Each structure stands twice: as C-alpha cells, then as structure tokens.
C-alpha cells in the first residue's frame, strides 16, 4: 500500500464536515460582508481556525473568497491531507504564493483579512505577490457569524459538554490524593480527558495565549495573578509558564481545589469550572459566597433568551452586587474582570461577551460560558462556570448541574 493509499484510507474513516454545512457558512459570510462591508471585493482566510470553519480542514494555506466568484482553497502543506479531510469543492496545491498569484491574477486594490491574527510580515509578503494596496479587517464579521451555531455544531458542543461533565464530576474526584502537586493533578486530568475523547488542546483567540487545560490550583494559588483575562489565577510553573499547575504546591487537608478547564470534541469546546473541598470543610463565609455565585449563575441562565442583550444581563446583575455582601466578585483585590460570561465554540473566548457594550441581542444557536466567581482570602477562588445554549426558555446547561464544592473527605 502506498503512502497516498494509506492517507486516503485514514481520510475515509474521518468524520468530515458536510458540504451543505460548508456551503451554508460561506453563504452566511457573504451575506454578512455585503451588509457590513458593502464595497468588499476579496476576503482572505488565513488563520487555521477559520480555515477549519469554512473548509473542514486546517492547513498551511489560504482560502480566497471573491465577492462574485466561487471560493478557492490553495494549500501548501498538506494538499493530500486537505483533500482527504475536506469536502470543500475546490482545493488546489501550491508550492508558494507565486502559484496562487499566477492563477488568480492581481487581486482587488483592497482586500479583507483577519487583522487580529495575520502578522504584519505575512501581510507584507501577500501584498508583494498578490498586488493589493490596502487591507481591512473583517474580524467582527467572522466573530458574528461564528457566534450562531448550526444544528451540526450544537450537536458537537453538546457531546463536548457531556464529556466535560463526566470527567469533572465523576472521574476527577477519584484522582485526588494528599501530597500530590498541582502539576501532577494537571497531568492526570489531561490523561483522563484524552481517554474520554478530548482533542488535547484548549484554543483561544486571545493574542499570544498558551493554555494546555486551564487553571488547576489548590487553595490561594487560585488567587495569584496571571496575564490571562479571567477571574481565577495560578502560581504556575513560573514566569515561563503561568497557566499550569505548580510543581511545589501540594494538596493538603482543608484545601479548596479549583479546576477551570476547556474540553474539545472535533474542534468544538465547552468550558466548565468545578470546585472541590479536600479533607475537611471550608469556612462558613466561603461557602456562603459560593452559594451567592450559584444564585447569580441561575439568574443569568434565566436571561439567556433570544432578544436579550448581553449588556442588559451584565448591568442587571452588577447593579445588585454589593462589595460587603459579595467581596472580590469576578476576581481578587484590584484584579477583577468586567464580564460575567463569554461565547464559546471553536475557541473558548468567542462572541458575544456578557459585558458592557455588547448590545446586539442574543440569538437562538448561540452558546455562552457563564462564570460568576469570587476570591476568598485564605481560601481561594469559589464560584462556578458552565456552558449554556441560548433557547427561548432560557439557558440550557450542557456541562452538568453539580453546584460545586464537592466534598472529598
């Protein structure tokens, strides 16, 4: 059997994104561009996540989407794999940008790109080969169309959420043992997630962000500041890797265990935070703060309905927050975040965000992670996070209903 035969055999066993799904996504993109960028002529999809969204594969390549012609996907490496993985109708090989440029000719004077993710150097090389003069960003358009999931996408996210629930609520509690380090627990959780079907990585759109699983911390380690824009924290391995369990911090009786991870299935992710109490109960005031976070999650979930603006949800919740009753809400000390939840899909941090300024109403098919949390001095980060579908009856949780502070005595 030749290598090409082997590639084709493996490709035939893969679950491919249906052609109807890919066609629908391109159609929605064109409609959104016509609406928001009425003078657009050519869009270049370069990031691997958006390549996957539109073609069902992610390669070293570029998807060219002209306004009035069929899209074409040029792939440098690996064209053979792209053809086996993808049902996209027009996939062509290229050795370099010259090959695509010779076929496509000079592009319009202005092209639209993913301005948040395409490096300046790459943009300069593309200008050299394709002859355009000006670039415009289309990140808002891409974020908007990806925020509303199809039935196909929702099915994958529900499977990710169920896997996430099973691992965090059933399997992870069996891993705890006194004296283990945060780093050891991180490795064991990763093993269990992969056994259950996790894709092995949590993907973020936030620039220059590296995360294996998320925040996995014992006690006050979950309050230690990091560069990551979230309420929780981590000692980490050190300045070289902040978002990873520490090798020195060991689990002892009385510790709060804080685990905030993503879980991915066939590209699509869920987000969940579980807390556990190891060895002996937490102080009563920490338990009360946790319960208030649970009440806030329930209030937010009730408002996750089509037609409700995320900014309205944020303002409704925050006007009732009293620092005396719920100190350190959404962070600790001066390190607080100004959101209550976020969209999720191919990346953990998608649109929309439950925060000020996000005034476009929610739509059915959107999926959001809701994460009311609060730091407690001497204890750690309490609270909860689950992933919800937006439905006419309110948010439907896909990651389980355990209230957290699971006792491991």
pLDDT, tens digit (0-9, with 9 covering 90-100), for 236-251: 898 888 888 899 999 9
Query: What is the C-alpha to C-alpha distance for residues 147 and 68, in angstroms, rounded to an integer?
Result: 25
Please tell me the distance from the alpha carbon of residue 198 to that of residue 176, in angstroms, as a whole number. 20
Per DSSP, the residues of 239-250 read TTB-SS--SS-B
Instruction: Say whether pLDDT at 211 is over 80.
Output: yes
Q: What per-residue confidence (pLDDT) applies to 389?
A: 98
For the cut 80, the answer to whether the pLDDT of residue 280 exceeds it is yes
- Residue 208: pLDDT band with limits 50, 70, 90: confident
- Percent of the chain at pLDDT > 90 equals 91
pLDDT at 2: 57
Domains and CATH numbers, the chain: 3-145 (3.40.350.10), 148-408 (3.90.230.10)
* Whole-number pLDDT of residue 5: 58
pLDDT for 1 equals 58
Please name which of 168, 151, 204 lies closest in space to residue 344, comparing C-alpha atoms: 204
Q: What is the mean pLDDT of residues 90-94?
A: 98
Task: Tell me what the pLDDT averaged over the chain comes to.
Answer: 95
| CB 169, CB 163: distance < 8 Å | no
Band (pLDDT 50/70/90 cuts) for residue 234 is very high
> What is the predicted pLDDT for the residue at 6?
46
Q: What's the whole-number mean pLDDT along residues 185-202?
A: 96
Among 5-19, 38-52, 112-126, 337-351, the least confident range: 5-19
pLDDT at residue 31 greater than cutoff 80:
yes
Share of the chain above pLDDT 70, in %: 97
Other beta carbons less than 10 A from residue 320's beta carbon: 10
């Amino acid at each position: 059997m030749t290598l090409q035969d082997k590639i084709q055999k493996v490709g035939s066993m893969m679950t491919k994104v249906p052609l109807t799904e890919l066609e629908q996504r391109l159609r929605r993109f064109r409609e959104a561009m016509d609406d928001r960028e009425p003078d657009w002529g050519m869009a270049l999809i370069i990031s691997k996540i958006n390549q996957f969204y539109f073609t069902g594969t992610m390669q070293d390549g570029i998807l060219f989407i002209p306004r009035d012609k069929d899209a074409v996907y040029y792939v440098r490496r690996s064209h053979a794999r792209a053809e086996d993985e993808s049902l996209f109708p027009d996939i062509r090989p290229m050795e370099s940008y010259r090959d695509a440029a010779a076929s496509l000719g000079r592009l319009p004077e202005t092209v639209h790109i993913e301005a948040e993710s395409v490096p300046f150097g790459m943009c300069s090389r593309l200008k050299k080969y394709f002859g355009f003069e000006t670039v415009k960003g289309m990140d808002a358009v891409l974020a908007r169309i990806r925020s509303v999931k199809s039935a196909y996408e929702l099915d994958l996210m529900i499977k990710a959420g169920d896997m996430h629930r099973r691992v965090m609520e059933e399997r992870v509690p069996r891993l705890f043992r006194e004296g283990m380090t945060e780093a050891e627990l991180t490795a064991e959780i990763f093993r269990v997630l992969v056994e259950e079907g996790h894709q092995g990585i949590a993907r973020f759109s936030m620039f220059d962000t590296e995360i294996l699983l998320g925040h996995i911390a014992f006690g006050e380690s979950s309050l230690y500041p990091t560069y990551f824009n979230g309420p929780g924290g981590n000692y980490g391995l050190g300045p070289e890797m902040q978002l990873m369990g520490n090798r020195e911090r060991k689990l002892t009786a009385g510790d709060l265990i804080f685990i905030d991870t993503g879980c991915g299935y066939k590209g699509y992710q869920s987000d969940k935070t579980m807390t556990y109490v190891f060895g002996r109960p937490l102080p009563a005031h920490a338990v009360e703060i946790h319960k208030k976070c649970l009440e806030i999650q329930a209030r937010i979930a009730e408002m996750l309905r089509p037609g409700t603006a995320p900014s309205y949800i944020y303002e409704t919740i925050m006007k009732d927050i009293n620092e005396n009753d719920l100190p350190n809400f959404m962070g600790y000390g001066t390190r607080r975040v100004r959101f209550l939840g976020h969209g999720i899909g191919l990346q953990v941090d998608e649109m929309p965000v439950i925060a000020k300024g996000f005034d476009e109403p929610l739509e059915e098919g959107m999926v959001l992670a809701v994460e009311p949390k609060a730091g407690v001095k001497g204890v750690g980060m309490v609270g909860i996070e689950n992933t919800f579908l937006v439905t006419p009856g309110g948010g439907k949780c896909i990651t389980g209903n355990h209230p957290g502070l699971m006792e491991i005595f």
